[in-house]
Structure 1
Amino acid sequence: MSNITKVDSITEYNNMVGIETLHPLVSVIDFSKAEPFHYSKTHMNIYAIFLKDIKCGNMTYGINNYDYEEGTLIFVSPGQVFGVEGDGKPKKGAGTALLFHPDLIHGTSLGKHIDEYTFFSYEVNEALHLSAREREVINECFKNITYELEHAIDTHSKTLIVSYIELFLNYCKRFYERQFVTRNHVNKDILARFETVLKEYFASEQPLLSGLPSVKYCAEKLFISSNYLGDLLKKETGKSAQEHIQLKLIDVAKEKIFDSEKSISEIAYELGFKHPQHFTRMFKKSVGMSPSEYRNMN
């Protein structure tokens, strides 16, 4: 098993790649100006965004490997494992990285809303692939943050740097929405497979054994992250992943209710509910009447 390097601070990462620390909580690294360094898997306890200008081979991100393409942005949040398997020899890096410590954004607008940038929890194969124009915008953001880092730290430094990072992330949010649109054919395939996963789940014994299907379960079956599935569904349909699961549940429930030989409680258990009253409450909220009333109506 390869060793994993732990990085808890900006200074530790800067030292690893031979870059001077201009600010203890944030850094922009141009790898073409960095020293050659030993590639390794790194357990990051800081936020990091990497833009690579060339393919750099087999990269580890979380528990998966990925062939990192040119012009791709990858987002790493504290607690994730990231890196490229090294061969023991120091190598020159390529591309640019923005790193910032969670302490930088505590008490700021960005700190309050950082969880809204769900792409920090995407899998690496859901990375952001930039167009040429988008790369220009991202590079301009890097330049603005670098300018502030090279400026003497004053009372405005933190506000401006955090504002530039927030602008950077908002551009990324926009570019991801573009990627959802331009990869529409891929998204449609995921939606179709999502529907199949739910259909097969409710047709099996899984609800009795494991209860209601979770978003995490469905995402794992589709080999994507929960956040990516949720964002994709929201973009394509306007509904969350949980809402889709509930709609499928109600559809299946309506079919089962037609079987008058089964009690409402039996149907509730078959669908994965531990308590029949929870099923009745959900059904009534969605359909406007209780399961019994729906059965009698038909």
Structure 2
Amino acid sequence: MEHIIKVEKVSQYNDLKGVETQHPLISVFHNSATKALPNNTRMHFGFYAIFLKAGKCGELKYGRNNYDYDDGTMVFIAPAQVLEVNNPDDYQPTGMALLFHPDLIKGTSLGKQMSQYSFFSYDSHEALHLSLKEQQIIKDLFNKLQYELSQSIDKHTKSIIASNIELLLNYCIRFYDRQFITRENINTDILSKFENLLKDYFLTDTVQEIGLPSVGYFADHLHLSPNYFGDLIKKETGKTAQEHIQLKLINLAKERIFDTDKSISQIASELGFKYPQHFNRMFKKNTGYTPIEYRNLN
């Protein structure tokens, strides 16, 4: 039976791995020199964790394909997220790990913009796969952080550590952009499936059962996390997933408004709006006209 381990402090995780705690709010270490985590457990994190897995990563079961790199994989975990540990009995930890508590970056530029790093909310099968050159850049940044922790703490320590973590995360944004490009065929397929799901949503009873379509609904049906799905659509089309949904709504509304046998309230209801005034507001924002004005114009 799985049991849940709450790991609220960096030092607690260090103890599980047999790693010395050099700083209460951050830890950087080579996984190969540590103990394996207790198997068949679920770990609830109270801090950020970044893992770089070295070598072949087939045992991680990330649903890999020809568009991924086999040389290394990065996984990102945010506070309040859960990591499931289900490794084979002969599993040996590899790569490097970076753990840091939110308190470490409070008051820094990194602390103010952590929300932009949406990959902390990606699912495990949406991990970042690195080429050898990319992997070396990440290793160098891990090593710089490890070096800084080995020095005596002074007034510069916090800003230097935060700056290096920020640089590492910015590189990860670049590498994810590269991964979206190298998965072009897969992304095109996802985009096509999204368009079909969006079309079917209004041709079935789904809109009456659920109401207005959400980004989360389509991400779930495509087996993707909402953040990864949103980032993929944005990078492929230049529009957000929500903008795509809204554009579909507007185009359908324009068609149905010409059916004068139906009131605007009926049309709004058919499109999933609970309140007609919300439909009116959205329609005018996107077209410059209220639904009634648009009907009379045409």
With 201-210 and 273-282 compared, the bigger mean Cα shift is at 201-210
Instruction: Look up the equivalent residue of 2:44 and give its one-letter code.
Output: H
3-state SS, counterpart of residue 75 of structure 2: strand
* C-alpha contact 1:58 1:85 (8 A) present in aligned 2: no
Alpha-carbon distance in 1 for matches of 2:240, 2:57: 35
> Paired residues, what number?
292
1:286 to 2:265 alignment: no
Aligned pairs for 1:99-248 within 5 A = 99-248=99-248
Q: Which residue of 2 is the match for residue 73 of structure 1? A: 74
Distance of aligned partners of 1:56 and 1:83 in 2 relative to their CA distance in 1, 3 Å threshold? farther
After superposing the two structures, state which structure 1 stretch, 13-22 or 31-40, moved more. Answer: 31-40
- Further displaced range: 208-217 or 243-252: 208-217
Aligned partners of 1:90 and 1:195: how far apart in 2? 44
Give the gaps of 5 or more residues in structure 2.
65-69
How far the C-alpha of 1:8 sits from its partner, in A, is 0.8
- Offset, 1:149: 0.6
Of residues 66-75 and 261-270 in structure 1, the stretch that sits farther from structure 2 once superposed is 66-75
Decide which moves more: 167-176 or 273-282. 273-282
Cα–Cα, structure 1 residues 283 and 67, in superposed 2: closer, same or farther, change >3 Å? closer
| Corresponding residue number in structure 2 for 1:263 | 263
Please give the per-residue CA displacement for 1:271-297, whole angstroms capped at 9, x wherever unaligned. 011111211121111112222222233
Instruction: State the Cα deviation string for residues 118-148 of structure 1 (Å, max 9, x = none).
Output: 0000111111111111111101110110110
* Distance change >3 Å, CA 37–CA 239, structure 1 → 2: closer
Per-residue deviation at 1:56? 5.8
Distance change in 2, residues 1:130/1:56 (3 Å): closer
Identify if the C-alpha distance between structure 1 residues 180 and 155 changes in structure 2 by more than 3 Å, giving closer, same or farther.
same
Change in Cα spacing, 1:3 to 1:57, as seen in structure 2 (3 Å) is farther
Counterpart in the other structure of 2:67: none
> Following the alignment from structure 1 to structure 2, what is the Cα–Cα distance between the partners of residues 211 and 173?
34
* Alignment check: 8 A CA contact 1:55 1:67 kept: no
Alignment correspondent of 2:276: 276
Structure-2 residue corresponding to 1:42? 43
Verify the 8 A CA contact 1:37 1:91 in the aligned structure 2.
no
Post-superposition offset of 1:25: 0.6
CA distance, structure 2, for counterparts of residue 112 and residue 75 of structure 1: 18
* Matched residue, 1:254: 254
Runs (5+) with no aligned partner, structure 1: 60-64
For the residue of structure 1 that corresponds to 2:51, the secondary structure is strand
**C-alpha distance in 2 between matches for 1:76 and 1:21:** 20
Q: Contact (CA 8 Å) 1:46, 1:99: kept in 2 or not?
A: yes
Conserved? CA contact 1:37–1:90, under 8 Å: no
Aligned to 1:62: none
Distance 1:100 1:90 in 2: 29
Provide the C-alpha distance between the structure 1 equivalents of 2:9 and 2:251, rounded to a whole number of angstroms. Answer: 50
SS of 1:165's partner is helix
